[in-house]
Chains A and B, each alone.
Chain A
Amino acid sequence: MTETLAAVLLGFFATGYLVLGGADIGAGMLLPFLGRDERERRRVVAAIVPFFLAHEVWLVATAGLLIGAFPGLEARLFPGLFPLIVALVAGWIVRDVGLWARTQVAHVACDVAVTAGSWTVAGAWGWILAGLLTGVTDSVAGGAGVALIAAVVVGLFAVHGLAFARLRLTGRPLERARAVTGGAGDRATFAVTAAMLAVLVVAAGARIGLSGSAADDATLRLLVPALYAVLPLLLAGQVVTWRVFRHRVAAVAPGQPGES
């Protein structure tokens, strides 16, 4: 019973990460497409930064749950996927450094770091998920089928990023995002791309056998109730974040304090 509850929690955080984290990663991938000059790119970055901390913690939580509640699965996945996980974390760091530095200095190297880092992260996820979907959990999968699925996943990240940009931006960057993603409403488009990513995680998760990989019952009986008890607090923080930053990022007139 506790094992099932732990598995539900693991699935919940993994899904949360791909839906939320995927949104700002996708927007980062398309930074040069959405923002064609320095001022437009500033606005795209400004659309991402209030969210990226709150979004990436879902992956930290997923990894923590894996280590704490399913050490057996972790011992199988991590060494098998070693180079992909190294690439994922390296891309993640490059992207975040780019975002942090961009909040202080407007340098083209920051934009390159954000874009290249986001593509690396999306590519690593594409490959990992493609492997899991084809049933390979203990090594890096290969072959044309895996490459095709990985490309589709990377594309999905990008489209989801555009849907996120449609919720956050105004003006020309918004028009560019709308032109690619079709005529449905902004919120409806985001809901559709989010659902597609969620289905992808659930499908990949269903292929991973969890049985026999959980932590000892004495540990789970303490860990799982504690995590469910704090869950409302975690979600409250996320809801507050989305409420506080619900407004679109507008252009700032030259000479305003926002311009530097």
Chain B
Amino acid sequence: MDVLELARLQFALTAGAHFLFVALTLGLATVVAVLQTRATVGRSEIHGRMTRFWGRLYVTNYAMGILTGLVMEFQLGLNWSGLTHFAGNVVGASLAMETLVAFFVESTFLGLWIFGRDKLNRWAHLAAIWIVTLTAYASAYWVLVANGFMQHPVGAAPGPDGLRLTDAAAVLTNPSTLQAFWHVLAGALVTAGFLLAGVSAWHLLRRTPEQEFFGRSLRIGVFVAAPALFLSAATGGRQLQLIEEIQPHKWEAFSGGAGLARVGALLMLTAFAAMFFFSFLNVALALSRRVIVTARLWHVALIAAIPLPYIAMISGWVFREVGRQPWVVDGLLTTRDALSDVSPAAIRFSFVTFVGVFAVLIAVNGWLLARQARRGPDPVAAPLEVLV
């Protein structure tokens, strides 16, 4: 495999893993923030316990999102310095905004939220989760400013030393950015909704004692996922129209041939269709409190459906990013020209290191998530947090 392919594969694995972790955290943060609001305002005990249980799954997943995101940030500098050199004035600047304006605040307040539950008063603790959620949205926006520019470079002109920013408003309101933002947000809510419903169905199927807890959680999952699927269809359809206008080569890859971009698009549409029709059934069944706890066959289907949003998200992402090739900045800079001037041995070293570390990371994460999901809600506070 040549160096370019290896560097691309490494970035694809890192960014793909990061994207999947983010998909869940973005949606789950929203759900947890709403649950905690109901717990705080209404002093509802069950919502408080839901906040803790789903919040713990959220935090474990979030940790993996941070770590894969770190590798992405450093990898841009290590392997793709041609991109920052050529388009740093736009792409680099929006990534700088992401780290400082969004991620810095998000991470600080997440620490306060996790470890400060017994130290902050309940309103301050509620404010912390909302700050985390809103800055997570801001973070997604700024990353998509960089990504949208790579798809559809507007608001910049070539200068002697790479691109110069000429119209900041055009960069910030790039249609490729804004439409992807709403689409990702919708997809994140679908992912969270299916996870809530699937994990709850597992507990109901096993007849664990928490019938009330997981019956309600299942219903929340179903009623979050259904409208989010409509939103994702609407934003996805508009993106396809946009692609036909601004990225004719991606449109060609979508409408003919057997390339990876087309395979991604078709797989995404298939997974979407499956979720969409399944959701009608879900909404109908979830209307009955009795059916929710007794329909065992439906529980099995809900558990089996947990991976569907992930399949749709990752294949949609493959379509968006592979369809951009051979360009890294559409029409202006090829991926090959963006590769850093480093030795093949160095790229191989970083590939082996990060793929190895990631394999362990994902295994540990999967084990911790499954362990938490199986164990069910905790009547007392989490172990270490009491010490803090």
Which A residues are within 8 Å of any B CB, using their own CB? 42-43, 45-46, 49-54, 56-57, 60-61, 63-69, 71-72, 74-75, 78-79, 82-83, 85-87, 89-90, 92-94, 96-97, 100-105, 215-216, 218-219, 222-223, 226-227, 230, 233-234, 237-238, 240-241, 244-245, 249, 252, 256-258, 260
Instruction: Give chain B interface residues in 330-364, CB to chain A under 8 Å.
Output: 340-342, 346, 349-350, 353-354, 357, 360-361, 364
**Is the CB–CB distance between A103 and B384 below 8 Å?**
yes
- Chain B min CB distance to A199 (Å): 25
- Chain A min CB distance to B229 (Å): 32
Residue pairs across A and B with Cβ atoms less than 8 A apart, 18 shown, are A46-B387, A63-B99, A64-B73, A64-B98, A65-B99, A65-B100, A67-B73, A69-B92, A79-B341, A85-B78, A87-B353, A89-B71, A215-B93, A222-B93, A234-B105, A249-B387, A252-B387, A258-B384
Chain A residues positioned under 8 Å from B111 (CB to CB) = 50-54, 241
Q: Report the bound CA distance from A223 to B98 in whole Å.
A: 11
Total A-B pairs, Cβ < 8 A: 224
**Is the CB–CB distance between B388 and A49 below 8 Å?**
yes
Partner-contacting stretch, out of B28-36, B184-192, B375-383 = B375-383
- Chain B min CB distance to A182 (Å): 28
**Is the CB–CB distance between A219 and B93 below 8 Å?**
yes
Q: Report the bound CA distance from A94 to B360 in whole Å.
A: 9
Chain A residues positioned under 8 Å from B166 (CB to CB) = 218
**CB contact between B67 and one of A96, A101, A249 (< 8 Å): that residue:** A96
Chain A residues positioned under 8 Å from B70 (CB to CB) = 60, 89, 92-93
Q: Report the bound CA distance from A94 to B364 in whole Å.
A: 11
**Is the CB–CB distance between B96 and A57 below 8 Å?**
no
Across the A-B interface, the 5 shortest Cβ-Cβ residue pairs: A68-B96, A64-B99, A71-B88, A237-B108, A78-B77
A218 with B110, Cβ < 8 A, contacts A68-B96, A101-B368 known: no
Give the nearest-CB partner of B99 in chain A: A64
Chain A residues positioned under 8 Å from B368 (CB to CB) = 100-101, 104-105
Chain A residues positioned under 8 Å from B74 (CB to CB) = 63, 78, 85, 89
Does residue B84 face the partner (Cβ distance < 8 Å to A)?
yes
**Is the CB–CB distance between A244 and B119 below 8 Å?**
yes
**Is the CB–CB distance between A74 and B103 below 8 Å?**
no
A234 with B92, Cβ < 8 A, contacts A63-B74, A252-B387 known: no
**A-contact bits for B71-83, CB 8 A (1 contact / 0 none):** 1011011100100
Give the nearest-CB partner of B78 in chain A: A78
A219 with B165, Cβ < 8 A, contacts A57-B108, A104-B383 known: yes
Given contact pairs A50-B111, A97-B364, A249-B388, a sample of 12 additional A-B residue pairs in the complex whose CB atoms are under 8 Å apart: A46-B384, A52-B111, A54-B111, A60-B70, A63-B74, A64-B98, A74-B81, A92-B70, A218-B166, A223-B93, A223-B97, A234-B108
Give the nearest-CB partner of B63 in chain A: A100
Give the nearest-CB partner of B76 in chain A: A67
Chain B residues positioned under 8 Å from A218 (CB to CB) = 89, 164-166
A68 with B67, Cβ < 8 A, contacts A46-B388, A74-B77, A79-B340 known: no
Does residue B122 face the partner (Cβ distance < 8 Å to A)?
no
**Is the CB–CB distance between B346 and A71 below 8 Å?**
no
- Chain B min CB distance to A23 (Å): 14
Chain B residues positioned under 8 Å from A104 (CB to CB) = 60, 368, 371-372, 382-384
Q: Report the bound CA distance from A26 to B107 in whole Å.
A: 21
Main secondary structure, interface of A, reads helix
Q: Report the bound CA distance from A57 to B164 in whole Å.
A: 28
**Is the CB–CB distance between A260 and B383 below 8 Å?**
yes
- Chain B min CB distance to A57 (Å): 5
**Is the CB–CB distance between B349 and A257 below 8 Å?**
no
Q: Report the bound CA distance from A56 to B371 in whole Å.
A: 27
Chain A residues positioned under 8 Å from B159 (CB to CB) = 216
**Is the CB–CB distance between A45 and B346 below 8 Å?**
no
**Is the CB–CB distance between A93 and B71 below 8 Å?**
yes
Chain A residues positioned under 8 Å from B93 (CB to CB) = 68-69, 215, 219, 222-223
- Chain A min CB distance to B107 (Å): 5
Does residue B212 face the partner (Cβ distance < 8 Å to A)?
no
**Is the CB–CB distance between A68 and B92 below 8 Å?**
yes
- Chain A min CB distance to B383 (Å): 5
**Is the CB–CB distance between A245 and B116 below 8 Å?**
yes
Does residue B115 face the partner (Cβ distance < 8 Å to A)?
yes
With a 10 A CB-CB cut-off, give which of B107, B115, B342, B384 has the most chain A CB atoms.
Answer: B384
- Chain B min CB distance to A60 (Å): 5
A241 with B112, Cβ < 8 A, contacts A63-B73, A89-B70 known: yes
Chain B residues positioned under 8 Å from A43 (CB to CB) = 387
Q: Report the bound CA distance from A56 to B165 in whole Å.
A: 30
Chain A residues positioned under 8 Å from B361 (CB to CB) = 93, 97
Chain B residues positioned under 8 Å from A105 (CB to CB) = 368
Does residue B303 face the partner (Cβ distance < 8 Å to A)?
no
Q: Report the bound CA distance from A16 to B267 in whole Å.
A: 46
**Is the CB–CB distance between A50 and B81 below 8 Å?**
no
**Is the CB–CB distance between B99 and A60 below 8 Å?**
yes
**Is the CB–CB distance between B101 and A226 below 8 Å?**
yes
- Chain A min CB distance to B290 (Å): 35
Chain B residues positioned under 8 Å from A83 (CB to CB) = 346, 349
Chain A residues positioned under 8 Å from B371 (CB to CB) = 104
Give the nearest-CB partner of A56 in chain B: B107
